[in-house]
Structure 1
Amino acid sequence: MNTLQTYFVNVLGCKVNQYDAQQIEQLLERYGLKKAEQSDDGDIIVVHTCGVTAAAAQKSRQTIRKMQRNNPLAHVFVTGCAADIELTDVGQDPVFRVPAGADWIQRLDQQLNELAMPEKHEMENLETDTFTISRFGDHTRAFLKVQDGCDIGCSFCIIPQLRKEPRDKAIADAVREASALTEAGYREIVVTGVSVGLYGRGRGSSLAEMLRNLVNLPNIGRIRLSSLHPGELTDELLEVWSAHSNIMPHLHLSLQSGSDAVLHAMRRGYTAEEYYDAVLRARAALDNPAFTTDVIVGFPGETDTYFEESYAFCKKVGFSQMHVFTYSPRPKTMAAKMGHQINGAIAMERSEKLRELGETMALNYHRQFQGLEAEVLVERVKDGIGSGYTRHYIPAEFACSEDQQNAVLPVRVAETTSTGISGVISL
């Protein structure tokens, strides 16, 4: 058997999966493998799957088949949320499978050890939640996963079954990792997790305490938080947030519905009024924060009246960006077994109406910055045009030179649309 030399990682899904993929790459490189430019050149191919929806699992299956078809000699590993054969059975030659869970890195390492690697090794104390990364590809923003797993138990969600129970990264490990990423030149750290607001619940700590340890690291740049549950927006967290200007004034606060009846059926654990209270507290504490959110339309039992309640509530909040999803049943969830499933045409019509509202709200939020100066982290430069995000997570474009990539620049806002802003550098 020839010694394996190269690898290729194909990652699907969320920020947590993007982080996991970096762990996979750095594990493979400890074995002496080199990253291939394309999947056809990989001796080992890892497909890091997503299973949050039936469509995501289907895309994962298609990707596995494509990798096997295009490179039949490669060893194909399937990892991530949809790694279980029940979710991604491709009906072809068996592949190496490492489903998500607390010890998935160890199990991947064990399977790799059985192959002919250029550098055989035994890694001591290799644990998924303490295996830190020191780079994040070619990005200017790096994700820092501090939490995994979830037990909230929303009726439409299968992730608790796939990612298992909540668990945390120790603050010392997170600080060490953030320091390494900062030293490597990343100007923004996105603190993320499957349910990042649950951080510290099992260890007598909190997300606020985590942030207190990150904000004053030498040369630390921007810090941004990923998705929060409204109940996780504590006074302690807002106090830390408001005291440090390098924590960005942007909250992804998942809503899912603005109707109390639908929220109850979803088992979200809050009412629309409680959600709005979280919004008001954040607005009182932070600098005109941007609220982005997810909304599911056409959930089982969503009547015309319930939808109108949700629509009116979204309008009341005034989100800067809404991700609108048309509900589709996810096998093995409570919602999939519920009665009163919504007609697809009706759900699509409602989704379109809510998306139009989302565009209007985004434009209204962006217009507040017309003529003002916004700080933008330049993430890429192509054909003389730089692009990146403002502190408030608004996409921005402006004339820029390549040597300004990865810099935080002041941009005078000249034009606003529902999709972002454009302007000129005002140095």
Structure 2
Amino acid sequence: MRIACLFYYLIAGLLLSLAALNPTPTLAQGSPDSYLTQLRNPYLTREDLQVLVKPLSEAELGQVAEIWRGYLQSNLEQMAQTGLASNQGANSTQEQRGALLDAQRSLELKYRDALAEWREKGADAAALRPHELYLKSALKSTLRSFNPLELIRSLERWLFSPDGGIQVLYSLIGFCVAAWALFLWAGFSTRLAERALAKISTVSRILKKFLLKMVYWVTFVLGGLILLSFLGVNITPFFAIFGGVSFILGFALQQTIGNLASGLMMMILKPFDTGDTVRVAGVSGQVDEMSVVSAQIRTFDNQIVTIPNSIIWGDVITNVSASETRRVDLLFSISYSDSAAQAIQVLEDLVSKNEKCLQVPAPQIFVGELGESSVNIYCRPWVKREDYWEVFWGLTGAAKECFDAEGISIPFPQRDIHIKSEQAKRS
């Protein structure tokens, strides 16, 4: 590291020494008139014009606009003269008319660039309006002055011109390659973020999915703005539009913003995750998917229920899948004439023989209530989360068969009604 730093300082010192030995000459301060003289060249390329108008002030740009309007007007006059001569029987060469049409198109583009820079520097709308109208009328005059065959030939020349169609083709190819690279970069950034989030065990799957989408789209949008800026597009209006749209949507989508806030809270605090079995807002089922706005719950009869996040966050959330083990609560009623100890022994045998019932924690089987017409025995074994319903249904059916085999009856609710006759009342 020290050797690399020493080498860096040696190179920097050498460059500074060379700069001292060969000082850069100072640029001569030219007058504004001499600078504008360069912009009076009618054969100035469009790229040079775009560079030269950058330092000009708003007033100077007005002068430049007048200069190029004069060039455009002069070319239109020549086109009109050739058209008039053609109407009077004089033959104008095809090459002459084609050259005038090509020059017209080039002058219109340069005139448009000068007006765009003038508008960006704060041109007065009243002063800019006549130029815009003249540009539109010049385009219409060009289309009326030439027949369709001449316009098609001019278009063909433009397509195969290095400054025309070929340049547009190169720009289009460059844009496609840059967009393809942008897609690759967004996917690569998402994969890097996914690897980083995989090392954090406390982040829920819902939050990981949301963060990965955010990384992808933020990378894509920022890369797209950088790409547009490299292509010469002014991206400042995009931020202004985004600010105005976000302000309007903030009032129009207040309820959606509430769902968004609730969704972010659930993603951070993770009361449940995708794949969990929950009971919320009167709906029980498995969480299929969750976005920042709503959650989709698949019920046990395979229905998809979409619930807004604000309703979920404002209600009681029961996560059935939160623990690895669950207690199965079973209630069996026997007759008062039957032996409760015998029924408890039957249930203990069933639980001990069932391989899915856990021994730790130990199952609880006891007489819990003396009802109006039955003795209620509670059976509470512990099982793994995924074995809950299998044990619930299995023990219920097996207990019925064993009670029948042991002669233990399961009573139904009954009530004794005593009727007194009128004769008994009189006596």
- Which protein is bigger by CA-based radius of gyration? 2
Structure with greater proportional strand content: 1
Structure with greater proportional helix content: 2
Specify the TM-score bucket, using the shorter chain as the normaliser: under 0.3
Q: Could you state the TM-score of these two structures normalised by the residue count of structure 2?
A: 0.19
Structure having greater relative contact order (Cα 8 Å, sep ≥ 6): 1
